[in-house]
Structure formats: structure tokens, C-alpha cells
């Protein structure tokens, strides 16, 4: 694969992470204006409309899949629903950068889950790196200190459920269209929010809330498209490290929009998690080549 392809893919991955960070920042802005369920529902309607149009354009509706793939799509959708509620509940009550820092443990969690549940081989070096990475997560969460809140546990829970989502995705066949998978997930999240919202009161969104929700929906769809393009253009070993730029974007947006900056222990924990993730990725790449 040409170096120019990897460079282009790295740029797309960086833009994709910026899109996800911007979407999260917009949702945090909305947290002061709307209840959680209503914010999820309204953004979800906009996202479903965009992904539905994309799926129709790609012809995803015509895909004929075996039952095992539909079962995995169902499992992935349930995990996506749980992850969205846990992550956004934490995001509504925690600084943006802190939630993003905890989310950086996802690659480590997926690697450990693949070894435990998918029988993927893993040596002592990668297991040690994963253990060190989880120590970094404890540095971010800070249990037993004044900086610890129950919302930190929800953020950790979102990492675990996203790991289930990604492991289910790994088990899907190559015939499953990416657009169909994303659309099913968006429909699941939106449907769950609408069901919860119907049981409570409804707040009329002010114009600024509609604007933030529209930007959030556009940013998350853009992020999805950028990441897909990056994985198709470049080599995984060259592109995957750029996922960690999401934390940089979250730090910048948190400082710019909310005036928040993580403490030193959180930043140090983030560095430990990222270093562990990069080492794990390097070991996986080297093992495949050998």
C-alpha cells in the first residue's frame, strides 16, 4: 500500500475523531437545555434520517444476510443502546475531556475481550500492557478521592458495552453492509429514547438546542464516514493510532467551550492508557507479520 494512501487515511481518521468529539461537545451543550432522553431522541431522529439516506444510496436495503449475521446485528444494536445511554449520562455530568480519557481504554478492552471470548492468542507482553492500561484508567477515575463520582463508573460501563459492540462486529461476515449496521444501531438508540421520553414530560427545545443537535448529528455521521474511509484507504497498523487524537480534540473543545481542563492525575492516566494501547497495537501488528 502506498505511503500516500496511509497519509490520506491518517487525515481521514483524525477528521473522524474530530467529528465525534464535536458531536459530544454539542450534546454536552444541550445538557443544560434538554433532558437526556429527549436530547438522545431528537439527535437520533436526525441521525437516522441521514444514515437511512446513506443506506439507500449504498443499496444496503437489498442485502440478504443469514440469520447468524442478523443475530450479531441485534446483539451489536443492544450493546450500542446501552453504550449510548451510559456514555451520554456520564457526559451530561462530567467534563468532556474526562469522559473522553476513559474512552481511550476501549482498544485495550476490545483486545482483552477478543482473547477471552474469541479465543484470539495473546502473549504475556500484551497482557501486561493491558493491565498497565487499566491502572491508567484507575488514575483517571480516581476511586476513593474527592474527584470520584458515580458518573465515572457509567463512563467505564460505556467502555465495556462498546467493547461488546465491537466484538459482535468482528464476528459479522464481510457481506454485512456497514451502512445497514450503523442504521440499525441508530434506530435502536433513537427508539429507546422515544420510549423513555413518552413516559415523561416534553420540553420545547429552544433554537440553540436545535442548532446544537443538528451539528451533533451531522458531526457524528461525518465521523462515521471518515473512519470508514480511513480503514478502507490505509493499513490498520498505520491508521489505528490516530484514533487517540480524539482525546486531543476533546481537550481543546472542553477548554474552548466549557473552560474545563483535567487535573494532572487524569492527564497522566490518559498518557498511560494511550501508551499501553499503542504498545498493544504494535505487538499485534508484529505478531501478524511474523
Cα separation, 185 vs 163, in Å, equals 15
Helix axes 3-30, 36-58, angle to 10 degrees: 150
Q: For residue range 109-166, list pLDDT tens digits in order.
A: 988 888 888 877 778 888 899 999 999 999 999 887 776 788 999 999 999 999 999 8
Q: Could you report the per-residue pLDDT of 213-245, keeping only the tens digit for each?
A: 999 999 999 988 888 788 777 776 678 788 899
pLDDT digits (tens, 9 = 90+) for 239-275: 878 889 999 999 999 999 999 999 999 999 999 999 9
What is the length of the chain?
Answer: 290
The three cell numbers locating residue 62:
437489498
CB 162 within 8 A of CB 154: no
Where do the domains of the chain lie?
3-289
CA-nearest of 280, 224, 273, 262 to 17 is 224
Distances (CA, A) of 238 to 11, 14, 284: 11, 12, 12
**Mean pLDDT for the chain overall:** 88
Amino acid at each position: 500500500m502506498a505511503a500516500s494512501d496511509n497519509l490520506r487515511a491518517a487525515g481521514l481518521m483524525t477528521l473522524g475523531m474530530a467529528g465525534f468529539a464535536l458531536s459530544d461537545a454539542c450534546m454536552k451543550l444541550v445538557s443544560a437545555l434538554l433532558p437526556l432522553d429527549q436530547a438522545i431522541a431528537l439527535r437520533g431522529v436526525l441521525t437516522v434520517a441521514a444514515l437511512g439516506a446513506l443506506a439507500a444510496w449504498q443499496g444496503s436495503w437489498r442485502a440478504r444476510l443469514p440469520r447468524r449475521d442478523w443475530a450479531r446485528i441485534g446483539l451489536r444494536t443492544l450493546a450500542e443502546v446501552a453504550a449510548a445511554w451510559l456514555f451520554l449520562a456520564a457526559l451530561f455530568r462530567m467534563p468532556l475531556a474526562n469522559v473522553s480519557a476513559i474512552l481511550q481504554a476501549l482498544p485495550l478492552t476490545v483486545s482483552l475481550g477478543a482473547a477471552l471470548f474469541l479465543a484470539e492468542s495473546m502473549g504475556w507482553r500484551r497482557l501486561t500492557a493491558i493491565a498497565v492500561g487499566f491502572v491508567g484508567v484507575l488514575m483517571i477515575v480516581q476511586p476513593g478521592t474527592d474527584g470520584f463520582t458515580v458518573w465515572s463508573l457509567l463512563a467505564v460501563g460505556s467502555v465495556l458495552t462498546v467493547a461488546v459492540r465491537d466484538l459482535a462486529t468482528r464476528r459479522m461476515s464481510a457481506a454485512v453492509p456497514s451502512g445497514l449496521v450503523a442504521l440499525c444501531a441508530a434506530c435502536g438508540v433513537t427508539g429507546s429514547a422515544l420510549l423513555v421520553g413518552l413516559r415523561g414530560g416534553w420540553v420545547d427545545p429552544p433554537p440553540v438546542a436545535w442548532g446544537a443537535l443538528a451539528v451533533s448529528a451531522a458531526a457524528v455521521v461525518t465521523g462515521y464516514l471518515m473512519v470508514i474511509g480511513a480503514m478502507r484507504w490505509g493499513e490498520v497498523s498505520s491508521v489505528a493510532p490516530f484514533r487517540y487524537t480524539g482525546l486531543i480534540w476533546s481537550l481543546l473543545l472542553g477548554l474552548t467551550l466549557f473552560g474545563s481542563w483535567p487535573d494532572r492525575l487524569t492527564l497522566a492516566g490518559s498518557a498511560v492508557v494511550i501508551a499501553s494501547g499503542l504498545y498493544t497495537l504494535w505487538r499485534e501488528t508484529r505478531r501478524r507479520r511474523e
